[in-house]
Amino acid sequence: MTVSVAEYLGIRTDMGFEITPVTAGSRQACPFKASPCEKVAQGKKPICSVRDVGDDNTLWISCEHRLCSTTQDLPLTDYQKLILKKVGNRIYRNLQPGDLKVAREVRVPVESGSSYSADFVMWRNNPLISGPLSPERPVILEMQGGGETSQTGKLTRHVNNWEQGHASLSDPVNQVGPIVTNAWRRQQEQFLVKGNVALYSGGKMVFCIGTKIYDYLMPRLTVTTKFLDLRNANWTLALLVFKESNPANPPPVPADRSIPIEIDDSKSLFTNYSSFVQAITNQGSPCTSLFNRPYEEV
């Protein structure tokens, strides 16, 4: 397992941009949402994303606010609007300016009395269609582009060495890797609950994930299930996969110094929610030797 720091406080490390170390606990603007960077405020290193050096430099988002944060009481930034429009253009056809509407941190009640919140609820509001809202169904939209890495202490020490002038920020860091399994397991319960509520309420479920989560999930799920491609039909679940835009040919000094990301249409999935849930629960196969073994009395 080896990674390299891909973005530090929103600045990519592979294009020669000047990057200045920040002071832990200071107030630094987050480049992806309209508020200060929470990592810096907590005394952590502002690593937004890393590259999995052992996996073709695949981008792994390591900050929960990097893909599209959902802070309810702050205005959406231009970056957040861009990401949401990318999603909307995949969900709804022929979007016109002003069509797309979102609500943030929407409470999703469950019968047990507990409650969840949806990152976003998205709907198409088209005045050209009769009525205040179009007949197209709304969606619960969840954002899970990545997650944590292993051996975060090693990554922190590497950044410390860079701050002291003893290393390059983009140098490989050995024995550190994305923990893809945790990223998916942490979301499964919420995914299942919110998806059920969305369908019961007449909506759909959309889950935005990164390349590595998709590559981890699909080989396991397609062993037992062949998903119908309902992209142009009545789908109820969509997996939209975000990837780095043209990683082999980065643009020459863009105005935005962060790594551009886009939806990977070759990997995104539009299918039936019930089939997807069944594929999750169908993991494993019968094992005749599981209970055929010596036992000891207790």
Kind of pairing, strands 139-144 and 204-210? Answer: parallel
pLDDT in tens, 257-272: 999 999 999 999 999 9
Q: What's the per-residue H, E or C state across 145-156?
A: CECCECCHHHHH
Share of the chain above pLDDT 90, in %: 62
**Beta strand residue intervals within the chain, DSSP E:** 2-8, 11-12, 47-52, 58-61, 100-109, 115-124, 139-144, 173-174, 204-210, 237-244, 261-263, 269-271
152 φ/ψ angles, rounded to the nearest 5 degrees: -65, -25
pLDDT of residue 93: 82
Summarize the chain as % helix, strand, coil (round to 5): 25, 25, 50
Compute the Cα dihedral for 226, 231, 236, 240 and give only its sign.
positive
pLDDT of residue 191: 82
List the chain domain ranges: 2-281
- Residue predicted with more confidence, 233 or 254: 233
Tell me, what DSSP letter sits at residue 67?
A: T
pLDDT of residue 248: 66
pLDDT above 60: residue 28: yes
Compute the Cα dihedral for 60, 75, 100, 202 and give only its sign.
positive
* Across 279-283, average pLDDT: 84
Side-chain-side CA neighbours of 271 within 13 Å: the count stands at 21
pLDDT of residue 149: 92
pLDDT above 60: residue 181: yes
User: Is 61 within 8 Å of 48 (Cβ atoms)?
Assistant: yes
pLDDT of residue 251: 61
pLDDT above 80: residue 130: no
pLDDT of residue 253: 57
Lookup: tokens for 9: 């406080």
Specify which of 23-37, 253-267, 278-292 reaches the highest per-range mean pLDDT. 23-37
pLDDT of residue 186: 80
Query: Which of 124, 50, 58, 59 is closest to 87 using CA atoms?
Result: 124
User: How far is the C-alpha of 63 from the C-alpha of 49, rounded, in Å?
Assistant: 7
- Residue predicted with more confidence, 116 or 246: 116
pLDDT of residue 254: 59
User: Is 196 within 8 Å of 129 (Cβ atoms)?
Assistant: no
pLDDT of residue 122: 94
Share of the chain above pLDDT 70, in %: 93
User: How far is the C-alpha of 207 from the C-alpha of 195, rounded, in Å?
Assistant: 10
The region of weakest confidence among 29-33, 254-258, 278-282 is: 254-258
Mean pLDDT, all residues of the chain: 89
pLDDT in tens, 47-67: 999 999 988 899 999 999 999
Specify which of 40-49, 112-121, 135-144 reaches the highest per-range mean pLDDT. 40-49
Cα separation values, 296 from 209, 287, 293, Å: 46, 21, 10
pLDDT in tens, 131-162: 555 557 899 999 988 899 999 999 999 999 99
Tell me, what DSSP letter sits at residue 121?
A: E
- Count of other CB atoms within 10 angstroms of residue 157: 14
Query: Which of 84, 96, 86, 87 is closest to 126 using CA atoms?
Result: 96
* Across 233-253, average pLDDT: 82
What confidence category does residue 249 fall into, taking pLDDT thresholds of 50, 70 and 90?
low
pLDDT of residue 55: 86
- Count of other CB atoms within 10 angstroms of residue 282: 13
